[in-house]
Amino acid sequence: MSTRRRFITQSSLGLVGAFAVRDALRSESLGAQSTNGPVLRWVPKHEELAYTFGGVAPRHRIQSGTRIITWTEDCFDGAIKTSADLVSKVTVPGHDNPQTGPFYVEGAQPGDTLAIRILKLEPARDYAISTFIPGFGIMVGNDRTALLGPELAETTWRYDVDAKRGVARTKSTDGKHSWEVPLAPFLGCLGVAPAGGEVRSTIVPDTFGGNMDCPEVRAGNTVYLGVNMPGGLLSFGDGHYAMGDGEIIGAAIEGAMNVDVVVTLLKGVKTPIPRIENEREVMFVGAARPLEDAARVAFKAMIGWVREKSGLSELDAYQFVSQNAHAPVIQLVDPEYTVLVKIDKNRVPAAR
């Protein structure tokens, strides 16, 4: 039985999954919601994958509270298997970051929010891929930052995944060196349809989520996305087995992923930009260019959240966030950059 079919048919939470559910259940926004609702087990066929956010008919209609146990293809559409395979030679243009979905959530309307509680993420293959593509990545020239000089050679690295040890291992291009990276699975893409019937590439992050490439989109966390179109039209993919801050070369350690999530509709709750929560932290993802504007988007949302929870004035909340927040740069390579701003919820002053 293949890894993905075993996961779909036999998925149980196990010890790690149980801790993830415990943490998600303690999230103050989710309260007492349970995992006892409907269950959808689905392995999409290749022709059922989506390559945009918006503009795609729903693959399934689900009720609020549905647990989805499924599988996602890697960002290369499964085309790269060895270090000899190059993106420019074996991939189909426009087939970047294939998405599982979209899922139409019954009753979801603009102005509502979808809460996606991530119970479990598991590498679906025993290998993963990373690449360098000329013109893509923070350390090279491109159409927006034009530089003279020779281009680096297009290159592929294959990582062998050791699930028991929890690492991915690869070799240098000359074969003389090797290194390991601890596995830390997350979904690079998680999004809903954009507003106004707009169709967006799966390369782009924005207020609808999309290609956020955020390591906090992981098991144990809940992602909140504002609904822009009827049904929300949720989709996800672009599994990352691990990634350094910034994703500076333009690719993470990319691989197919087994996915176990619960999708809940929150009626009348607006979520202007993506929010992520667990028991301890609240986080906001800002997407924009230049980088400081991405940070401003996330910091503004955080200051507003602190004001709402504490009753602080705007200036006091600004001071509080300035001294307590952490703001890792998530990625610096996509059409919009992404910055995560997070804060320990226990530090927020109680409302008076």
Q: How confident is the model at residue 12 (pLDDT cuts 50, 70, 90)?
A: low
Three-class SS string for 48-82? HCECEECCCCCCEEECCCEEEEEEECCCCCCCCCC
**CATH class of the region 280-347:** alpha beta
What is residue 229's three-state secondary structure? coil
pLDDT, position 36:
80
pLDDT, position 272:
97
pLDDT, position 4:
64
Looking at residue 294, its amino acid is: A
Take residue 287 and report the two structure tokens written for it: 């997407």
Residue pair 267/114 in contact by the 8 Å Cβ criterion: no
**Domain residue spans of the chain:** 3-275, 280-347
Query: How far is 177 from 175, CA to CA, in rounded Å?
Result: 6
pLDDT digits (tens, 9 = 90+) for 31-88: 334 568 899 999 999 999 999 999 999 999 999 999 999 999 999 999 999 999 999 9
Residue pair 186/121 in contact by the 8 Å Cβ criterion: yes
Looking at residue 147, its amino acid is: L
Query: How far is 156 from 86, CA to CA, in rounded Å?
Result: 6
Region for 328 from its dihedrals, namely left if φ exceeds 0, alpha if ψ lies in -120 to 50, beta otherwise: beta
CATH code for the structural domain at 3-275: 2.60.120.580
Q: How confident is the model at residue 106 (pLDDT cuts 50, 70, 90)?
A: very high
Query: How far is 349 from 281, CA to CA, in rounded Å?
Result: 14
Query: How far is 111 from 205, CA to CA, in rounded Å?
Result: 20
Region 99-116: mean pLDDT is 98
Identify the DSSP state of 198: -
Mean pLDDT computed over every residue of the chain: 92
Region 104-121: mean pLDDT is 98
Q: Could you identify the residue written with the tokens 């607006």? A: 270
